Amino acid sequence: MRYILTHDLGTTTDKACIFDENMNLVASELENYRTYYPQDGKAFQRPEDWWQTLCRTTSRLLDKTGISREDIVAIGCSGHSPSMVPVGRDGELLLEEIPIYSDLSARRQVEAFMYELPSREFYNLTGAGQVPEQYSLFKIMAFRDERPEEFGKTAKVLNTVDYLVYRMTGTAKTDYSQACNTGALDIRERKWCDRILRAAGIPEELMPELTEASSIAGLLSERASIEIGLRQGTPVVMGGGDVPCAAAGAGTIKEGVSYICLGSAAWMGFFSRLPVLDYDSRLVNYCHIVPGGYALQYQMTGAGICYQWLRDAIYRYNRSAESNETSKSEFEAMNEEAISSVIGARKLIFLPFMRGIWAGETNPDARGVLFGLNLTNNVGDIYRAAIEGMGFGLKEIMDSFSSQGYSSDQVRVIGGCAKSPLWRQILADISGKEVLCPSVVQEAGSLGVAVAAGVGAGILEGFEDLDRIISIESVALPDWKNHEKYREYYEIFLEVKKNLSGVFEKLASIG
C-alpha cells in the first residue's frame, strides 16, 4: 500500500494526515501553534513554529500507524493565506515573525497604492475581494518601508505553504491558488501583473515561480529528510491555499456544485470555469487547485467563533467543583440546550457579525447583536439564535450568489460545525436546500491536497476521481413548514442589520 502525507496549516493548528492510495483517511494528528498580537491590527506567526510542528506531527503519525517512511510516496500541504515570508539569497528566514492574513496594519500602503491604481481596477485585475490590507502585496510594501535593510537582502517572498515547500526542497515556487491571494496575480492570465507590481514598487523577481498545485515542486532534501524523518527524495507536491483545497475536498470541482465550510468563519463557494467579477459585492475569485478552474467565495467571518465565544463567556454546565473538565463535549451540551428551544428562539435574533461584515458588503465596524431579549428567554434560546443567525447570514450569501447566476438545490457542508445534525438541519430549513454531509468533513482541506498529491505522484488520473472518492453520509431535507416560518425571521434579520449599519459606525467612533 502506498500512502500520502498531508499537512493542513490552519490559523491555529496543523492538521497532519495520512491517506492511503484509495484516499481513505488512515490517521491524523493535531498540534497548535501561537499567533501573536503585539498591538491592535497586527497578527504575527513564526514560520519556524510551522516547521517544528510539521516535524513533530509527522513523527507521531508514523509512530502511531507503524507505516514505513519508505511507503510515503508524496507529501502535500495546504495552509492559511495570504501571509508574507521573506527569505534571503542563502535561504535564510529574514523575519522571525511574519504577518498573516488577519494582520491589517498596512493601511498606509493600501492608500498609497490605490492612489496609483484605483480599487475597482485592482479588483478587476485580481478578483481580490477581501479587505486589501489582508493581501501579501501590501504586507510586502510595509516590509519594504519599515524594514529596508532586511528587504534589501530578500531574494523571494513566499506564502505559508510555499515556505514549507521551500524548507523541504529548496525551491521557491507557489501555486496559482496562493498566488491569487497575494493581490499581484492577473486572475485571467494567471501571471504576475506588471501593472500592479509597478504601482506597488515591487520587483517581479521577488515573486516565486508559478506552478499548479498538483505539480511536483521538488524532492525532499537530505537535511529536511533528517528533520522530518522521511525518505530523502520523497516527491513534494506544491499544494495550495486552504480555501481552494477545501473546495476540492468537498467535491466542488465542476459547475453547479456548491459547498459551505462551517468553521470559525463560514464561507460558501461555487466552482467556475471563468472568473466572475462583481466589484459592488466583492465576490472573491480564487484560482482553484483544479487546473484552469476558479473557486468563487463569499465569506462570513462570524460562525463557529461566535459559538465558541458563547461557550467561553456563558457556558457553565456539567463542570465539577474540583475540575474544569466536562462530562461531555461542551458544544454537544450547548446543542442539546438549543434543541430544547423552538424555531426563532422565542423571537430572539442573533447577528453573527462579531468580527465585522465582509460578505456582500464591507463594514468592519459591525458587531454581534442579540435582538429581542425578553424575560422568557433562556440559554438554549441564545444558543439556538446563534445557530440560526449563522444560517441567516449564509442565506444572505446564497442570495448574493443567486444574483450572480449561481444557484443549486443542494449544498455540501464541511468544517467542524458541520458535524452537528442540528446545525445541518437548521441550515436546510432556513435555506430551503438539501444539505449534504460528505464522509470527510473536518479533514476536507486535507483530502483536497491529498488528491492533488495523488495526481502529482501518478496515483490518481485527475481531480475528477473525487466524484468516486467522496461519498455522502447523510442528507438534511428542508422542512417546508419550518422554512416558511424562517422566512419571516430572515426578513427581520435583514431589517435589523440594515437599521443598525449607521449605529455600528457611531459606536466605533467613540474614543
Q: What is the pLDDT of residues 39-74, one digit of tens each?
A: 878 999 999 999 999 999 999 999 999 999 999 999
Q: Residue 231 falls within a domain, yes or no?
A: yes
At which of 202, 219, 247 does a domain end? 247
pLDDT at position 322, please? 46
* pLDDT at residue 325, as a whole number: 47
17 in a structural domain? yes
One-letter amino acid for residue 289 of the chain: I
Q: Which pLDDT belongs to residue 318?
A: 52
Kindly state the average pLDDT of the residues 193-198.
98
The pLDDT mean for the chain works out to 94
CB atoms within 10 A of CB 13: 14
pLDDT at 320 (0 to 100) = 44
What does the pLDDT look like over 94-144, one tens digit per residue? 999 999 998 989 999 999 999 999 999 999 999 999 889 999 999 999 999
- Tell me what pLDDT residue 314 has: 83
- Contacts for 476 with CB less than 8 Å, ≥ 6 apart: 421, 424, 425, 427, 428, 434, 435, 437
Mean pLDDT across 199-213? 98
**pLDDT value, residue 357:** 82
Question: At 103, phi and psi to the nearest 5?
Answer: -75, 120
For residues 154 and 76, state if they share a domain.
yes
Region 227-236: mean pLDDT is 97
Where is the domain boundary, 207, 232, 247? 247
Beta strands 266-272; 258-262: pairing state = antiparallel
**HSE of 363, CA atoms in CB hemisphere, 13 A:** 22
Domain that holds residue 312: 300-316+324-438+479-509
The pLDDT tens digits of the residues spanning 240-278 come to 999 999 999 999 999 999 999 998 889 999 999 999 999
Is 361 a residue whose pLDDT tops 80? Answer: no
Q: Specify the CATH number for the domain of residue 376.
A: 3.30.420.40
DSSP-based three-state secondary structure for 78:
strand
The answer to whether residue 256 is domain-embedded is no
Same domain? 232 vs 371: no
448 phi, psi to nearest 5 deg: -60, -45
- Do 489 and 424 have their domain in common? yes
Share of the chain above pLDDT 70, in %: 97
Q: Considering the domain boundaries, does residue 125 fall inside one? A: yes
In DSSP terms, 88 is beta-bridged to 154
Which residue is it, cell 467561553? Answer: 312
Half-sphere exposure of 387 (CA within 13 A, CB side): 31
Q: Which of 264, 313, 300 lies closest to 394, judged by CA? A: 300
What's the whole-number mean pLDDT along residues 340-352?
97
pLDDT tens-digit map of 392-419: 999 999 999 999 999 999 999 999 899 9
What b-and-e string marks burial along 249-260, b requiring 16 or more CB atoms within 10 Å of the CB?
bbbbbeeebbbb
> Does residue 148 have a cis bond before it (omega within 30 degrees)?
no
The reply to whether 196 and 328 lie within a common domain is no
Task: Let me know whether 239 and 120 are in one domain.
Answer: yes
- How many angstroms separate the CA atoms of 238 and 69, rounded? 20
Same domain, 155 and 21: yes
Query: Taken in order 384, 390, 393, 397, is the CA torsion positive or negative?
Result: negative
**Do 334 and 215 lie in a common domain?**
no
Listed in sequence order, the residues at least 6 apart from 56 whose beta carbon sits closer than 8 Å to its beta carbon are 31
